[in-house]
Structures are given as structure tokens and as C-alpha cells.
Amino acid sequence: MKKTSLFKRKSPFWVALMMLLCVAFGFGQEQYTFKGTITDANDELPIPGVSVFLENTSYGGVTDFDGNYEFKATLEPGEYTLLASYLGYSTKRIKVSAQASNEIEANAQLSEDLLSLDEVVVTGSTVGVNKRTLGNAISSVKSEDLVNNGATAVDQAISGKITGALVQQNSGDPAGGISIRLRGPSTVLGSSDPLYIVDGIIVSNSSAELIDTGGNTQNRLADLNPNDVERIEIIKGAAAAAIYGSRASNGVVQIFTKKGKSGEPRFSFSTNAKINELRKTIDYNDVPLAWEDPFDRANLATVPVERYDLQDEIFESGFGVENYLSVSGGNDKTTYFISGSHLDNEGIIKNTNFQRIGFKANVTQKAFDWLGINASLNYVRSKSEEVPNGGINAAYGAITGFVFSDNSIDPAPNASGVYPQTSLLVPRTNPAEAVDRFDFGQKINRVITSVGLDAQITDNLTANYTLGLDFFNQSATAFIPINNTSPNGDGFARRSDINNFQYNSDLNLSYKAAINDDISSTTTLGGSWQYEEFERIGINATGLPPIVETATSGSIVEQGESRSQISYWGAFVQQSFSYKDKLYINGALRSDGASTFGKDERSQLYAKASLSYIISEEDFWENTFGDAFSTFKLRGSWGQAGNLTALSAFQRFTLLSPISINGSPGLIPNTQQGDLDIAPERQEEIEFGFDAGFFNNRLGVELTYYKQEVTDLLLPRELSPSTGYSSRIENVGNLENTGLEVLLKGAPVKSENFTWDITATYSKNENEVTSVAGGGQFALAGSFATNYVIEGEPLGVFYRQFYARDADGNIALDENGYPFTGTTEDGSSSKVIGDPNPEWFGSLINEFSYKNVDLRVQFDAVQGFDVFNWNRRLMDNVIFGGGYNVGQELQGNLPKGYGGAQAGIFEEFVEDGSFVKLRELALSYNLPEPFESVDNIKISLIGRNLISWDDYSGWDPEINTAGQSNGVRGFDFAGVPIPRTYQLGLSVNF
């Protein structure tokens, strides 16, 4: 018997049943058509590409070129909310009523979102939230602000663009290091660098000095190409650490690289050529006389000499070229972004340059409707040719030789190619020989890669997993040939290598649910395991055979090896509530640990709480202030964190050093005693602020006040000699930072052909070391006992000898007319004579656009800080003779030997480092669709560090020979000045 499907039978029962179901499910629903026009509130011009959708539904559309949208929706009659959203504009909420009429027209005007309150930012590995919900300040830099500015590194490019971020270029070497401090230093012995995360991968920004190049130490952010970056988000303060852990106690710099988009392949090519030059020369002794006897103040007899400007032997204009090509595309399932780049940039020191070759790939794959996979790979090969400048650790080097040289000696080699000794009193290098004969360099191979999973488990539950890996090998060699003018006259060779490996494994779960019509909840759970290992080996040799450059062929004077392994772990829970999308409350707990601390102190618990209130969306605010006061958000946060950088992997132990006793191997304890109960430093911060928009958001203001207290500060404590040790690292100090951050953004002119945007930043941070064990003080290593930690003073103040003065404050002179050292009331010959920490810093950026022409002008200012000019302390001393003031002595404008008397009075060489710089000047012309299949061609002319308004007598007050040092700042000794750069660029998109 033939069987028939029940649903195919022509039974009146099934027909009636289906009709009943249709009525049941569709009862009361009607189809409505929504349409309207979206325009700009400033100029009333249409905005294409605006997303317009009904809140809490899947219905919506996008505006066309004329700003019009239209879509259909099947709904029950009632009240609904339309959302109009577009990048760079504040989201507009429009109340609509679906009643009798089936056609609903809703027009809206969008105001520019200068403060980006509707921007989605990432605040926990891979968890994105709307910026309006946050109670703490977070700053963003877009991709277009990172390129076309003359910068070759990511950290260099963000200078002046972030409030609370002091970006200092420590050296003008083409691969020289850059320091970023967010809200001041938060430790003494550790690092105040923020945590750097690239697409969820925690990356190293180490600045290991493998060869002594005198403050030109590279930091590894130089390996990242700004052209690959889509945006940067910076979270400041302890509020970030409750999510990312104690490694983020100094803040977080999140770098998001470019991803592919569905569609036909899109290519982007850019090339630029640049010139780097010395911005200014320093005054030197050009008087054609020399003392017959420089050591006898009474003998004023002179002899004629010829003077040479040794700066001409060191500096020259450097040339650079950079090429970049990327392709992106994909389909609904798979997207990709691939790029390749090459940079070759010469420095202003002769025979120096930095080369970087990079390859970048990002791939995303929609495996299932609920699961996405992403993977990234970044390979970088860089090479630097460097000239040592010595100073802090070594006596050889070009600028070191310049500082100590008698510039009445011709530095050029003789007919046999032998360079003369230009430093007659102390063994230092002829600077001309250093740049011509010395061969120093470094090579880096680096791989940064990751794989991630994004799962939409249910409508409410999502999961994200990231496994990131960062590995690099840094290899450095140094060679000084035999028969040279340095202290290593019989030659010198060094080889040093680092292998650095680290990975992070992070899992986050997020559950979102609506408790009722007004209140929604988001719960996030996360866990992380991180590991890093570090291996270093080095060998030094002198007494080289002729021609040979390898250390193993000479007399080995030093060899060493070190290893380090550190594990970090943590877990957090965060709960957020939203009330009517206006009031947001967040709280979080994190358990954090690191293997560097004692077993009972490794795991610590930290908490966070924040509040955000968009008060301008209340009816009373709109009715009262709405016309002039468009947006007003109040926010506050409190957070705790630790600092895990102050101890090395095994520093909690008493270390043993190998020794040979009567030919037998042995071990002796180090002079520093270990402490198995040592604990992390703890940080607590409170932050208040507001974000405000005026005049249809034509003017935006962001203001933040914060106070940060660090307790259990790790410091060296002096021990009694009877213990057998000199010191022990203990939790015996406190410090605090208090600051104010202000961001102003304005759009004075917005028209069809001309726009003018202004951005101004102001940041002020007051740092104080509030407690040191026993009320003591100590000098920081690497500062020649000049930078100190002193209770009641900012970190790293200059503490040395000062001028004796009369009752009116004038410099006192002895009976021979020479200055002398003063004493304090308690008889000390030293006091605080300067502070390298700025009183405030800020920037002013103007961006103009007229039709296809764009102009960008950026001024950076750092005010109220001191620089110790070690170069002048030596050059102005008659026994060396190269300084300007020695010439003044020869001309009789100063007593003979005046500079020698000043040399022991360190106050003389503390100078005001305050400056205002024309950081960026960029003029570009954009030619849209010049040819078929070519989207646009842009030609740009760029200047960087063009002018500096300052009173500093050295090359540049923006310098720090101690490199990435946390406390030794404002230290100028044989450092490479920052060059002035001109760049001509061409970019094509097709």
C-alpha cells in the first residue's frame, strides 16, 4: 500500500492547523517601511555609509551617497528606538512610533564625536566594550596619525598624541631607544615601561645593551612598522592592571594591526626618501691661541694654534628610503592582509644606519556560524651599523673622544694612515678614527605570531582564546683594530647574543544578559598563563692579531653567560551593569602571581571599581543645556595592582659567585643578601574625570585627575658589615604620583571644501618618593653618583655640589676671583640642584584640509625639567680645551682656569631643558581616481623635529644617555642628538 506524507495530504485538518499556527505566530504583526535622511549637524551635508537599525532587532540599513536609508521590518505596533551610527560621529537615538501608518520617516543629524565616546575599545585581551561605559581614561591613535610624519617606529610616532604619555627619544641614533612613561615612574629598581600587546600577543620591548654604544641602546618596539598598525589604544593606571595583571601596572599600550576586508583585492604602495641632518652645532673654542702652560694660572703666555671643529669629523647628513606594499581582501568566510616592507635609514653620525625588512600576514576564517579563527605572523630582520660613543661604561667612542679632545690638534690621519692622539691627558679616542675605523653592529631576527578563536556559544555567551608567541635573537659584534688611539690600543673585540622567548595563553568568557528593560549585565571571566625565558652570552678580548676581528682569536678578558625563566599567572572576574545605557558600574577582582617572589607572597589579590554616567542623555540636561552643552560624561575609578619588574628571576636568593682557591673551584656568596619572603610592590590609584562636548560637539574636553600610591617599594637596604653582606633588597619604600590630564579637541571650521581641526593636550605629574628605609638616600647606578633617590624628593633628582653664595644670592668668589663649593647648614657639600622630571608636557596639533590639499602642524612642549650637561663640564675645563668658555678665558673675558674651578661645582652644569619643538609638519596633495582602477595617489612633503625653541647649550635637551633607565633621566653625556628630518613620499591605493 502506497504511503503518503501527512503534510502532503489534502486533509482539512492539516490546512486548518497550519492556518491557526500562522495566525498565532503572526498575530498583531505588520510590515513597516522605515526611511529618512542622515546629515551632518555642522554643515547639513548628507553622510553616506551610516548604519541605521532598530535597537534590539535584526532590522536595519545603510545610507546611500545622498544620506538616504530605507528598510522594511515586520513588527508589532508600539514604540521603538532607531540607532544611527557612524565612525567619528556620536550615535544618535531616535524614538519612533509604529502605529497606524505603515511608512515611518525619521531624519537625524549626527554630531562629530570628537572624544570618541561611542568607539569600541578593547579592555581585556580580546574583550571589546563601548568607550562610554568606562570609568577610566583610555586614549586612541588612528592609523592615519601614525604614518606620514617622518617617524620610523611606532613609539616615536605617538609622541604628542596622548595625554599622560611622556614619550622621550633617548638618542638620535637611527635605531636609538625611546622611553614611554604613563603617569610618571611607579618603581625605582624595576621598569616603568607600559605593557605592550600586539593583537593579543604580549611582546617584549627590552633594551638590552649587548655592546657599549653609549646610550644608543635599541628597544625592540623598533621592530614594528607603523604602516601595519590600524590603531593604538592606551590604558593608563592601575585600572588596567585589574584585567591585564600586574605586568600592566604601568599602563597598557595595545597595538592592533590591519586586517583584511571582504571584497576584491586592494593594494596599497608607498615609498619615501628622507634626509637626516644635525639640527644645530654647539659652541666650541675657535680662538687661535693656546696656553703655554694650561696648569699654571699665573702664566698667561699663549702660543698661536689652529682650531678644528671636530663636529665636522663626527656628523654628516644621512639619507634614507622606505618602501611598503600591502594587499588585502577576502570573502564572507575568509579575509586576509599581507604586507612587506623595507627601511634603510642612515644616521647623522658618519657610517651609521638602520635597516629593517618585515613581512606581516593576518588571516581570519569563519569556520562555522558560531566560530571564527584568526592567525597572524610577523617576521622582522633588522641590522644596524653603529659607532660607539662610550661615556658611561667605556672610554672609547666618537662623541666621548670629541668631549675630551684638544681641538687644536688636526684629527686627520697622516700619510701612513695613522690617526693622531687628540686627547692628551686621559686616554680617549680620536673621534675621526672612531667613525672611520671602528666596526660595531647588531642583527635581529624576530617572529611574532598568534592564533585565536572567537566563539559565539549562545546568544548571550561568547568565548575568546589567544595563544601568542614572541621570539627574537639579537646578535651584536664590536671591533676596534690594533694600533688605535683608544684605551684599547692593542685592539678590542666583543661578541654577545641574546635569545628571548615568551608566550601568553589567554582565555576569556563573557556573558551578556538583560535583567529587565532598563538594566543589562555583562559578566567576564578570564585566565592567563605567561612564560618568558632569556639567555645571554658574551665574550670580550683584547690583544688581537693583525686583521683578525673575532674575540676568540685575542686575549679573552671577560666572558659571561646568564639565563632567566619567569612564569606569570592570573585569573579575573569582572561584573558590569548598565542602567538605561546611561549609568554604568564595573567591578573586578584579579588574582595575580609571578615566580620571582617568595612562595608565600607570589599570589596577590587586586581589585577594581569604576562608575560612568552619561548625564547629558537625561531629559533635564537636554532641556536645560542641550543646545550648548551637547555631551557630558562623569567617570571615576579605583584600582589596585602590583609591580613585577623590580626583581630578576632569581634575585630573591643569595647568589653565589664562582672562585678559584689554590687552583680548586669554589663558591662565595655575593655581597647582596637574598630574601625568600620578598613581596611584589603594591599600587593603588584613584581617578576622576569628565568628558564634555559643546556646540553640537564642535568642541570636546576630556579632563582627568589621578593620585597613585605605591607601597612596599623594593629598595636596597644597607646592612651591618657584621652580617657579611652589604645590602639586601627589601619592601621598604613608598612613592606617589599625582597628576592632571587635559585633552581639547575642536572643529572650528567644517565646510564642503575646507576643514580645520585642533587638538591640544596638557599633562602634569608630580612624583615624590615618600619613604626610604631609615629616611635615607642613595645614588642610582649609571649616573656617576649624580641622580639620587631621596625621601621627600622626586625620583632621580640631581644631588651634588653647589655654588657658595653671598647674602644676596650671588655666586661668591675667593680672593683670586674663582667660585667655590658651598655647604649646607648641616655641613654637607651636596644638596638637590636639579630635577629631571618635567613640571608639565603637552602638544598642539592643527590639521587643515582644503579640497585635495592637507596640512598638519604639530608642536610638542616639555617644560620645567633639568638636564645635566656632562659634555660641557669636560669641554669647559682648560685641561681639555674644546669648550666655548675656554676660548673666553684665552680672550681674557674669564680668569684663566675658571672652568677648572667650576668643574667640581656641579650646579653650574644643571641647565633648564624646557623646549617647544615643531615636531611634525606635513603637507600632502591627494589625487582621487587619477586613472582607471587607481583609487588615489598622494604626494607628501614632511618635516620632523624641524625647530626647537630652548635655552639648552648642548645639541638637544631631549636626550638621555642612560637609555631606558627608570630613575636616571636628564643625563647628557656623549649622546647622539635627535636629527632634523625631511621626507618626500608617494602613496598609491588601487
Q: Which of 44-48, 744-748, 805-809, 854-858 has the highest mean pLDDT?
A: 854-858
- Taking residues 214-243, report their average pLDDT: 82
Position 7 scores a pLDDT of 38
- Three-class SS state of 553: helix
State how far the Cα of 83 lies from the Cα of 50, in Å rounded to an integer.
10
Position 15 scores a pLDDT of 44
State how far the Cα of 772 lies from the Cα of 797, in Å rounded to an integer.
14
DSSP state of 6: G
DSSP 513-552: EESSSSEEEEEEEEEEEEEEEEEEEEEEEESPPSS---GG
Position 721 scores a pLDDT of 84
Average pLDDT value over all residues in the chain: 89
Position 811 scores a pLDDT of 95
pLDDT, tens only, 106-147: 998 887 777 767 666 666 555 567 777 888 888 888 888 999
Contacts of 708 (CB under 8 A, 6+ apart): 183, 184, 186, 237, 238, 683, 684, 685, 736, 737, 738
pLDDT class for 215, splitting at 50, 70, 90? low
| Cβ proximity of 543 and 552 under 8 Å | no
pTM of the entire structure?
A: 0.88
- Residue 84 pairs in a beta bridge with 52, 92
The side-by-side arrangement of strands in the sheet containing 78-85 is 60-62, 51-54, 78-85, 92-98
Reply yes or no on whether the pLDDT at 17 is more than 70: no
Q: Which of 187-201, 276-290, 385-399, 552-566 has the highest mean pLDDT?
A: 276-290
Position 245 scores a pLDDT of 76
Position 16 scores a pLDDT of 44
Contacts of 236 (CB under 8 A, 6+ apart): 136, 137, 138, 139, 164, 165, 182, 183, 251, 706
Task: Report H helices in 647-697.
Answer: none
Q: Write phi, then psi, for 135 (nearest 5 degrees).
A: -95, 0
pLDDT class for 763, splitting at 50, 70, 90? very high
Better-scored residue on pLDDT, 681 or 118: 681
- Taking residues 396-413, report their average pLDDT: 92
pLDDT class for 242, splitting at 50, 70, 90? low
pLDDT, tens only, 697-752: 788 999 999 999 999 998 988 888 888 888 888 889 999 999 999 999 998 988 88
Grid cell of 812 as nine digits: 661668591
Position 705 scores a pLDDT of 96
State how far the Cα of 176 lies from the Cα of 650, in Å rounded to an integer.
30
Grid cell of 586 as nine digits: 564595573
Position 697 scores a pLDDT of 78
**Which residue's C-alpha cell is 589567554?**
506
Position 569 scores a pLDDT of 92
- Three-class SS state of 894: coil
What are the structural domains, with CATH classification, of the chain?
A: 28-110 (2.60.40.1120), 120-257 (2.170.130.10)
Position 126 scores a pLDDT of 52
- Residue 473 pairs in a beta bridge with 445, 499
DSSP state of 220: G
pLDDT class for 3, splitting at 50, 70, 90? very low
pLDDT class for 18, splitting at 50, 70, 90? very low
State how far the Cα of 965 lies from the Cα of 972, in Å rounded to an integer.
13
Grid cell of 640 as nine digits: 589596585
Position 344 scores a pLDDT of 97
pLDDT, tens only, 765-801: 999 999 998 778 999 988 889 999 999 999 999 999 9
DSSP 222-266: GGS-GGGEEEEEEE-SHHHHHHH-GGGTT-EEEEEE----SEEEE
Residue 124's closest CA among 466, 564, 637, 493? 466
State how far the Cα of 751 lies from the Cα of 45, in Å rounded to an integer.
9
Position 12 scores a pLDDT of 47
pLDDT class for 961, splitting at 50, 70, 90? confident
Grid cell of 391 as nine digits: 661615556
Percent of residues, the chain, with pLDDT higher than 70: 94
- Taking residues 56-66, report their average pLDDT: 81
Grid cell of 197 as nine digits: 600587546
Amino acid at 747: A
Q: Write phi, then psi, for 785 (nearest 5 degrees).
A: 55, 45
- Taking residues 511-520, report their average pLDDT: 91
Residue 639's closest CA among 189, 123, 119, 120? 123
Contacts of 25 (CB under 8 A, 6+ apart): none
